[in-house]
Amino acid sequence: MKKADTLTGKITSRVEKSQSVKNVKGDPVSSNAGSSTNNSSNNEHDHIDAINQVFAELELAYHNQYHKAYGDEGSIRLAKKYWLECLANFSPQLILQATRTVVTSQQYLPSVATIVQACEESMSQYGLPTIHDAYVEACCADHPKAEQDWSHAAVYLAGKATGWFELTNKIEAKIYPLFETNYRRYCQQVIRGEELVIDKQEALPEQVSRKLSQEENKSRMEELRKGLNK
Q: For the chain, give the mean pLDDT.
A: 80
Q: Is the pLDDT of residue 21 over 50?
A: no
The Cα-based distances of 112 to 43, 85, 99, 217 in angstroms read 20, 10, 10, 76
Peptide bond into 144 cis (omega under 30): yes
Band of pLDDT at residue 92, cut at 50, 70 and 90? confident
DSSP for 22-34, please give it: HHHH--TTGGG--
pLDDT digits (tens, 9 = 90+) for 110-125: 999 999 889 888 888 8
pLDDT digits (tens, 9 = 90+) for 169-184: 999 999 999 999 999 8
- Which residues, other chains included, contact 70 with Cβ-Cβ below 8 Å and sequence gap of 6+? 76, 79
The span from the CA of 197 to the CA of 64, in Å, is 47
DSSP for 36-51, please give it: --SHHHHHHHHHHHHH
Whether the CB-CB separation of 164 and 26 falls below 8 Å is answered with: no
Whether the CB-CB separation of 91 and 187 falls below 8 Å is answered with: yes
Q: What are phi and psi of 88, to 5 degrees?
A: -65, -25
Q: Is the pLDDT of residue 90 over 70?
A: yes
- Which residues, other chains included, contact 142 with Cβ-Cβ below 8 Å and sequence gap of 6+? 148
Band of pLDDT at residue 167, cut at 50, 70 and 90? very high
Does 155 or 203 have the greater pLDDT score?
155
User: Looking at 67-81, 116-130, 175-189, which range is the least confident one?
Assistant: 116-130
